[in-house]
Amino acid sequence: MRFKLFLAFDQDVSDEERLPTPTQKAQSAPKYAAPQRSGMEPRFVNNNQTSSRLGSSRGGETMTNFAQMFSKLFFGAAVRVVTLALFLVLFGAITALAQTRAYVTNDLSRSVSVIDTATNTVIATIPVGDFPIGVAVTPNAAFAYVTTFSAGVSVISTATNTVVATVPIQGGGVGIAITPDGAFAYVASFFGNTVSVISTTSNKVTATLFGGLGLPFSVAITPNGAFAYVTNEGGEVAVINTATNTVTATVEFGGIQSPIAITPNGAFVYVVSQVDSNVSVISTATNTVVATIPIPMGITSHGLDITPNGKFAYVGNVSDDSVYVIDTATNTVVAAVSVGADPFGVAINPNGTFAYVTNFADNTVSVISTATNTVVATIPVGNNPFSIAFPVRIQVASIIARVEALVTAGTLTQNKASGLIAKLKGVEAKLEHGPTGAACNQLNAFINQVNAFINNGSLTAAQGQTLIDAVNAIKANTGC
């Protein structure tokens, strides 16, 4: 159980002592290791006053002044509209750019590498706390949250690539996941035996879960944000209701310190069972194991991710330095891709064309083409790269949940919401067959309808912009 020992390493141990030698690796046992209208409307004077002035000898002058005033108001409003449009275009460009960046925790270097996936090069290295392990990026790509042993969670601004806040977590953090709406981060503390909930608005812990966790390790959140699934040392998955922050179920699967991922439709959870050398599939409807997928060479894994279309799961295997590809329709292994030494973290890029894999012992990241399942690039990073993350994928299901929440809150009528939801479900059906122009058209129609609701007062600018931002993220990911 090398990985468990790795977690407990004393900070005084030298870098050389921590790096595995080829002999040690061969001899070791399996390693488990939008804005409100405000002052833009023309102000109309009292009708009687206007009539009196127009009937006087100064009527012409007054009319001229009125025309000048209206012209200024109109010009000012036009400037505001153009400025806002330029801002939204610029903001969209920045967001799209951020969506192409991957964030890698370098455990021994105490840093985070930022990879530009357009060029597959490291464009920044950010110092963080001691021994960074997990990383998650907000859906809008504005912040990266990094778990560390010494500092708890370091919060990185992706605009400046600097740490802008630190959130203390008792026992330090390991696994981390951010809700699809970007409001909260769930942090598993292996040594603290807790799951902490961080508000991404205040960067403070708003809840801490203690019971029924059993040394938590990895975290994944359903696309609708309703539940968090947490693996633990006892071979169980704890199911947390995010509305109440209570454990509502536990599922036995036989793994320890195991990676976990959830399908885009939220129907299934995939989790590695390192004891039984397989991948377990859990139905979120029943919270029971419905399938087990044997891994031919046995498995020791920290990395697992699922493609945006939900068709394949990519699982890193330290035991034989490879990444296994699972067809989620048949739940069978369909490919094994050789990568660098000790593949720990796995993350699929937003449009699903590449899988990025951190190689812990090689200090590199392998880039796998998901079309050919071959390594097409290798990127040098810091020492002992552990986890890797892209911005949280915003799924159509999560936007539907947001629309439904507006109905529950009394903001939107069911009739208005139904039109929005119908468009989103149309997008879901079309995206099942890949990124299509028809899906992009439906997304644009959704945005137009939301803007109409903002204009008629059915939604505030802020409420509408939240929905628009989410849809724009999906558009960016699907190449619209």
Mean pLDDT across 73-92? 42
Residue 106 DSSP SS3: strand
Residue 235, pLDDT score: 83
pLDDT at residue number 3: 41
Give dist(CA 82, CA 79) in Å, integer: 5
Residue pair 97/350 in contact (Cβ under 8 Å)? The answer is no
Residues in contact with 89: Cβ distance below 8 Å, sequence separation at least 6, in sequence order: none
Higher-pLDDT residue of 128 and 55 is 128
Residue 213 banded pLDDT, cuts 50, 70, 90: low
What is the pLDDT of the chain when averaged over all its residues? Answer: 81
Query: Six-digit token pair at 426?
Result: 């149309």
Query: What is 78-89 written as a DSSP string?
Result: HHHHHHHHHHHH
DSSP structure class, residue 21: P
Residues 102-132 have pLDDT tens digits of 999 999 999 999 999 999 999 999 999 899 9
Mean pLDDT value of segment 28-40:
34
d(C-alpha 136, C-alpha 347), whole Å = 11
Q: Which amino acid belongs to residue 146? A: V
Per-residue pLDDT tens for 184-201? 999 999 888 899 999 999
CA distances to 135, 143, 325 from 389, rounded to whole Å, are 6, 12, 19
- Strand positions, DSSP E, 61-120: 101-106, 111-116
Q: Are strands 322-327 and 364-369 parallel, antiparallel or unpaired?
A: unpaired
Candidates 371, 373, 421, 365; CA nearest to 389 is 365
Q: Tokens 């359903």 identify what position?
A: 222
CA dihedral for 305, 292, 332, 395, sign (positive or negative): negative
Q: Residues 122, 125, 127, CA angle at the centre, nearest 5°?
A: 160
Q: How far apart are CA 22 and CA 24, in angstroms?
A: 5
| Separation CA 478–CA 197 (nearest Å) | 30
Question: Which of 92, 73, 72 minimizes the C-alpha distance to 84?
Answer: 92
* 8-state DSSP, 119: T
Go through the chain and tell me how many residues it has. 480
**In angstroms, what is the C-alpha Rg of the chain?**
26
Residue 56: pLDDT over 70: no
- H helix or E strand, kind and range, residue 394: none
Residue 350: its pLDDT value, please?
86
**Coil/strand/helix, residue 407:** helix
* pLDDT the model gives residue 308: 87
**Rounded distance between C-alpha atoms, residue 264 and residue 276, angstroms:** 26
159-185 tens-digit pLDDT: 999 999 999 998 889 999 999 888 999
CB 410 within 8 Å of CB 158: no
DSSP symbols for 128-190: -SSSEEEEEE-TTSSEEEEEETTTEEEEEETTTTEEEEEE--TT----EEE-TTSSEEEEEET
- pLDDT over 80 at 358, yes or no: yes
- The answer, yes or no, to whether residue 81 has pLDDT greater than 80, is no
Most confident of 41-55, 68-82, 204-218: 204-218
Find the mean pLDDT for residues 326-345. Answer: 96
Could you read off the pLDDT of 389-439 as tens digits, one per residue?
A: 999 887 788 899 889 989 999 999 999 999 999 999 988 888 766 657 888
> Taking Cα atoms as reference points, which of 262, 183, 169 lies closest to residue 218?
262
Give whole-number Cα distances, 223 to 142, 177, 345, 442, in Å.
19, 12, 21, 20
Residues 6+ apart with CB under 8 A from 86: none
Split at pLDDT 50, 70, 90, the class of 67 is very low
Of residues 132, 184, 114, 169, the one with CA closest to residue 392: 184
Tokens of 95: 């967001």
What are the strands of the beta sheet with 132-137, ordered from one edge? 132-137, 143-148, 152-157, 162-167
Percent of the chain past pLDDT 70, that is, above it, reads: 77
Average pLDDT over residues 310-314: 95
The torsion angles phi and psi of 436, rounded to 5 degrees, stand at -120, 160
Tokens 């439709």: give the residue.
265
The strand pair at 322-327 and 176-178 is best described as unpaired
| Mean pLDDT calculated for residue range 336-363 | 95
* Contacts by residues 281-288 (CB-CB < 8 Å, ≥ 24 positions apart): 281/331, 282/229, 282/237, 282/251, 282/253, 284/222, 284/227, 287/239, 287/249, 287/251, 288/251
